[in-house]
Structure formats: C-alpha cells, structure tokens
Structure 1
C-alpha cells in the first residue's frame, strides 16, 4: 500500500532551490550588472564645484550628472559638463568629466583643472565627515 494521497504529488526538498540562512545576510551577493555604486564624496563634490551649471539630469544609480550651459563666476565663456562617477572608491579613476563650450572643444588642461577641483573637494568632504 502507498502513502501517497490520490492526486497529491510529493516534492523532493532538493528541488525547492537554494535555502537561505542567517549568514546569507552578511555575504556580498550584489550583481555588478544590476547594482551600481558611486562614491558619495565625488558625487557631492561634483555638484558643489559645478554649482554654477544648471542641472539637466541626474542619475545616482548610473553615476551620471548632465548639466546645461552656464558661465563660471568671473568667467566669460559658457560651459556644459557631463560627469560620470564610475566607482565607489575615492580615487581619480572613479571620475570622468567631459566639458564642452559653445565654441566647441575645451582644452585638456581645463578638464584636468575641473577634475582636480572635484577630487580636492571630495577629499575635503570626506575629512569633514570623518570628524563627526
């Protein structure tokens, strides 16, 4: 005689899929194709340094800030920027800045100066945050 009830099916516990445990909470299971992390200090520093530019779009999930044209204080040339924060590390490799003026391309020295200003401000924010 069988223990099966007519019409009922038994499932094998191994067929139920992976089991979660308490230790799964402490694992880093983030899929880099789904989760994007950006450095909060570089993000905020970018907004601080380029605050004279009007923001067109901001996406903290992909790390992209796009601005419209604006003129820096004391300057006569209008610029617009696209900033890409690519990594959660406070590192120069985590920051990509593209500048454009109404007249076309911007010199590499100008782009480098903006990147340096953003990274300097990011470090200042981090130091100020660690003093809390």
Structure 2
C-alpha cells in the first residue's frame, strides 16, 4: 500500500516535470512552465485582425487559405452556411400538418422540407409545398412556406396564411405538451 502511493507520487511528479518543458516560445532554456514570461491577453478584435493578416491568396488559383486553431471549433461562427438552428416544434408541426403531402426531400441541417403533390383531405386541388425553418425561436419569422398547385399556379394568400397558422398553432401545442413532461 505504501509502495503504491510512493509509485503514484513519483509518476505524477515525473509527468509534471516532463510537461513543464512543453512550453511556448523557442528561447531555449528559459521557456516552459518555470521560465515562461507572463501571458499577455489580446482582445478578440486583435485576434481577428491577426487571423485576417495570416490569410494567403494563391496567385495561380485564386484560393484563399487561412490558418485556424483548435479553439476555432468552440468559437461562434457567423457563417450561415456552417450552421442553421432549426426550431424542433415548428419542424415537427410542419411535418404533422402537411402529412398528406409526400416528402420528397428533407434536410434538418439547412431546415428545408420539400414535398410532392398531394390532395388535402376533403379538398379537390393538389398542392405541393416547400418549408424553410430557419430560426430556433418559436416565432412566425422562423417559418417560410411556399405552396403551388399542380398546374404551377399560385396558391391563394388566404390558403397560405391558414396553413402557416395551422403549423404555428400545432408548434405551440407541441411546446406546451413538451413542457408538461
């Protein structure tokens, strides 16, 4: 038991000493954990400016290459092509309300649902829809709906408004139902 503690202490000390030599800088003897100078902090704007300066343009191909770091994975990205947040209640409600339309393609990462032609229960016209859910908020701004008839004609604004209202109402019901769990 005593030897086990001694062994653990020696291994831990050796690990600390070996990692202390893995410091930044290339000044040789004075670098590492014990010889390191005080770290300076830079603002986010300064770091962004430095990143912009490190961008290089390949003259032959015109490609722009930038250096990135491990911490870029945890930074919020402003590029809308990289991440789209989708409201799960509007997403589910759109699929439920328009369940009479066959789904042709669905992409939860971009928030797009494309349906084929289908006839609503009790209706005579065939419709198709394209739904875009582009915001995580349970809000009317998060939903964009486009519908057309089989002949390619536009759908009456009242019909489009009624379908949007049905989707948003069902989304609110799902949210309330989910909060009761």
TM-score by length of 2: 0.59
Change (3 A) 1:32 1:42: farther
Q: Render the CA deviation track for 1:38-68: whole Å, top value 9, x for unaligned.
A: 0000000000000000000000111000000
The aligned runs of 1:24-43 (5 Å cut-off) are: 29-33=75-79, 34-43=82-91
Change (3 A) 1:19 1:30: closer
Could you tell me how far apart the structure 2 residues matched to 1:69 and 1:83 are? 14
Could you tell me how far apart the structure 2 residues matched to 1:46 and 1:115 are? 9
Cα RMSD for the two superposed structures: 2.5
Q: Cα offset for 1:19?
A: 7.8
Higher strand share: 1
Change (3 A) 1:18 1:71: closer
Aligned to 1:121: 170
Q: Cα offset for 1:118?
A: 0.1
Aligned to 1:65: 113
Higher helix share: 2
The aligned runs of 1:91-102 (5 Å cut-off) are: 91-102=139-150
Could you tell me how far apart the structure 1 residues matched to 2:156 and 2:70 are? 56
- List structure 1 runs of 4+ shifted beyond 2 angstroms: 10-14, 17-20
RCO comparison, higher one (Cα < 8 Å, 6+): 1
SS at match of 1:105: coil
Q: Which runs of 5+ in 2 are unaligned?
A: 1-24, 32-38, 40-67
Could you tell me how far apart the structure 1 residues matched to 2:143 and 2:172 are? 13
Could you tell me how far apart the structure 2 residues matched to 1:65 and 1:49 are? 13
Greater Rg over alpha carbons, structure: 2
Q: Which runs of 5+ in 1 are unaligned?
A: 1-9, 21-26
TM-score by length of 1: 0.79
